[in-house]
Amino acid sequence: MDKKPFATREQLEKIREQYPTPFYLYDEKGLRDNAERVKRAFSWNKGFREYFAVKATPNPSIVKILGEYGCGVDCSSLTELMMAKALGYRDDRIMFSSNDTPEGEFRYVHEMGGIINLDDITLIDFLENELGEIPKTISCRFNPGGLFKVSNDIMDNPGDSKYGMTEEQLFEAFRILKAKGAEHFGIHAFLASNTVTDEYYPMLAGILFKLAVKLQKETGAHVEFINLSGGVGIPYRPDQTPNDIFAIGEGVRKVYEDILVPAGMGDVSIYTEMGRYMVGPYGALVTTAIHEKHIYKEYVGVDACAVNLMRPAMYGAYHHITVMGKEGLPCDHKYDVTGSLCENNDKFAIDRMLPKIDRGDILFIHDAGAHGFSMGYNYNGKLKSAELLLKTDGSVEMIRRAETPRDYYSTFDFSHEFDQVLEEWEKRNK
């Protein structure tokens, strides 16, 4: 089984003529079709809303597309809130889930009318001091501790996570917030990352639904929404089975009917905050093979590096690679596919069996649509690439230009001599 790119070699060669590699390419049709599937999968819940995790792909064009399908935004910083504001998001279409929150950010989102999701009980005083009040609508993040297992497999370790409150703290937080004027409550939890199993959301839902019933009964707080956060993953490897969002939605519905409805809580809205699932498969890093090296191993050097996609370097994450135009050839060459950073972990693949790669070949690095461009940095003075949108009519739109040396140096108070160097470079590369 192999992964099929959403663009052809001919398309990419044509795009490369106008936009030099490396670049990110997003599939508008895939994004739209997937957003519609998510909407349908949870349509049984009247108040359902997907709050797209902006951190995954903070590009206004992507956020606007998802907004057309009713998605809100999950923000975690001031700049993400500013993007939401510029795009017209207001009130309960904004969820602000931050931790170790800097001064001023709660005030900013409160002025926009967004929902604040508190990460810790100590933030209650911080929030009240900053706003002069407690918002009428408030959410709290829960961390059950221990290990989180699905079908006896350990999925993640919440007890080692810095996020959320203990159950005891959560109950105390609800009592304090209610006494201080909060009227509408929500709970939120993120217990595992990138799960490729339809069981995760229903199992998490069961934990949170039972908790919500207990919270409402013991504190008198009105629980209006339950946020399942993210964690629904994508099949990075070609042998993995994709999640079935309709099976997931139906699984959550059954737990909802079993737990919340008998407790008289059949009006609770279900929220999600999926970033990876919404965009991950519909974005790719496109790069060109520019060098080869034959020493103790076989290396192919490409014009992208970990600056463009750091997940393999940071996590050892797998991203499938298609050598465009050679999909039918045998994978009989073992390569490390590398970038040019002065770090030995700057590798997109290690000991990967691929067809023979020649200089000039286009490599399509799959499933980079989420936590790809957004995690980029500028080590070695490398510059971030352009982001392009492959539109439904087959045309291509640049939705973020590539960085330039002038961008890199723009925050320096540099001398006239430095300015001259930049002007010479820009004149030579017009």
Distance separating the N- and C-terminal Cα atoms of the chain = 44
Residue 71: active-site member: no
Three-state secondary structure of the chain: CCCCCCCCHHHHHHHHHHCCCCEEEEEHHHHHHHHHHHHHHCCCCCCCEEEEEHHHCCCHHHHHHHHCCCCEEEECCHHHHHHHHHCCCCHHHEEEECCCCCCCHHHHHHHHCCEEEECCCCHHHHHHHHHCCCCCEEEEEECCCCCEEECCEEEECHHHCCCCECHHHHHHHHHHHHHCCCCEEEEECCCCCCECCCCHHHHHHHHHHHHHHHHHHHHCCCEEEEECCCCECCCCCCCCCCCCHHHHHHHHHHHHHHHCCCCCCCCCEEEECCCHHHHHHHEEEEEEEEEEEECCCEEEEECCCCCCCCHHHHHCCCCCEEECCCCCCCCCEEEEEECCCCCCCCEEEEEEEECCCCCCCEEEECCCCCCCHHHCCCHHHCCCCEEEEECCCCCEEEEECCCCHHHHHCCCCCCHHHHHHHHHHHHHCC
Q: How many C-beta neighbours within 10 Å does residue 137 have?
A: 18
Query: Which residue in the list 71, 75, 331, 342 is annotated as catalytic?
Result: 342
Q: How many CA atoms lie within 13 A of 281 on its CB side?
A: 23
Joined together, the tokens standing for residue 410 give 């723009």
**Residues involved in catalysis:** 342
